[in-house]
Amino acid sequence: MSVEQFLSLAGFAGGIGFKVKKIQFDYGFSTYHLAGSTHHLGIRLAIREWIKPKI
């Protein structure tokens, strides 16, 4: 199959994220070219929620 006949998702991007208690998980997927794509994984912590304020 030649490149001209190949169907691809070039230019497509998507992602999802969800929060479990005080930790948020994010995933992203991007296709920039027929040769490959990128995957991104993120973990986010809200440090202010973990530390009790001193009063």
The pLDDT > 70 percentage for the chain reads 84
What domain range is 39 assigned to?
A: 3-50
Number of domains in the chain: 1
Least Cα distance to 12 among 47, 38, 42, 51 occurs for 38
Predicted pLDDT at 3: 54
Report if residue 40 sits inside a domain: yes
How many residues appear in the chain? 55
Q: What is the rounded average pLDDT of the residues 5-22?
A: 82
The larger pLDDT score, comparing residue 5 to residue 26, is at: 26
CA distances from 32 to 11, 14, 41 (A): 5, 12, 17
**pLDDT tens sequence across 35-53:** 788 999 999 998 887 787 7
Report if residue 8 sits inside a domain: yes
Token couple for 3? 């490149």
pTM of the model: 0.64
Q: Which residues are registered as beta bridge partners of 28?
A: 15, 40
Mean predicted lDDT score pLDDT of the chain: 83
Predicted pLDDT at 12: 83
Report if residue 55 sits inside a domain: no
